[in-house]
């Protein structure tokens, strides 16, 4: 009799945990990063693994924001300076490289690319951010929500799935 009750309790706890896990999956979550002092959030469902910047093999005749190719877990991955791509700076300062991280695209997006970000700023969820109206100027297709946190800082979402299809992003070579 005691075994049946213990089994029912265990099944009840497992059912509660499964429900909690389903609810957590439905909540929107982001990886908060900074590039050239600007705050961005990347959907956790689209971001992949985070790496320390490693040795980059430069690729000739590419745009200045394409930093080169890195070996990340055995895969050759193109590395893009996020701030450079967005036109926020021309070159990555040496001081930035110490704190910088590479955020790989989720493997499900079918692109071997990683973004160099200046600094990781933690995780954010929908409870921590309030939607902001879009700015008056046109934004690229990969720009998602704009959200304000409790401290008043406005974060711009970058949808990596749309960035992976952006013509300018995919055309890393210099125009001849």
DSSP-derived secondary structure for 26-76: HS-EEEEEEETTEEEEEETTTEEEEE-----B--TTB-TTEEEEEEETTEE
Predicted pLDDT at 27: 59
What is the number of domains present in the chain?
1
Q: Is residue 15 part of a domain?
A: no
Examine the pLDDT at 26 and tell me if it is beyond 60.
no
pLDDT band at 21 (very low <50, low <70, confident <90, very high): very low
- Phi first, then psi: give them for residue 142, nearest 5 degrees: -80, -5
Q: What percent of the chain has pLDDT over 70?
A: 84
Average pLDDT over residues 98-103: 93
14-28, 76-90, 108-122, 126-140, range with the lowest pLDDT: 14-28
Q: Is residue 10 part of a domain?
A: no
**Domain span holding position 108:** 29-170
Q: What is the CATH number of the domain that holds 109?
A: 2.40.50.180
Q: Is residue 13 part of a domain?
A: no
3-33 residues labelled b (16+ CB within 10 A) or e (exposed): eeeeeeeeeeeeeeeeeeeeeeeeebbbbbb
DSSP 173: B
Predicted pLDDT at 17: 55
Q: Is residue 5 part of a domain?
A: no
DSSP 57: B
């Amino acid at each position: 009799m005691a075994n049946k009750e213990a089994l029912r309790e265990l099944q009840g706890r497992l059912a509660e945990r499964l429900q909690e896990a389903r609810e957590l999956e439905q909540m929107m979550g982001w990886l908060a990063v900074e590039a050239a002092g600007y705050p961005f959030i990347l959907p956790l469902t689209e971001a992949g693994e985070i790496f320390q910047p490693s040795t980059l093999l430069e690729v000739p005749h590419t745009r200045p924001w394409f930093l080169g190719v890195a070996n990340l877990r055995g895969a050759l991955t193109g590395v893009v300076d996020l701030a450079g791509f967005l036109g926020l700076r021309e070159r990555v300062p040496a001081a930035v490289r110490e704190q910088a991280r590479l955020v790989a695209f989720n493997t499900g997006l079918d692109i071997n690319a990683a973004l160099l970000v200046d600094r990781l700023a933690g995780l954010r969820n929908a409870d921590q951010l309030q939607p902001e109206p879009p700015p008056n100027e046109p934004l690229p297709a990969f720009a998602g929500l704009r959200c304000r946190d409790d401290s008043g800082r406005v974060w711009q979402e970058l949808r990596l799935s749309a960035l992976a299809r952006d013509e300018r992003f995919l055309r890393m070579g210099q125009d001849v």
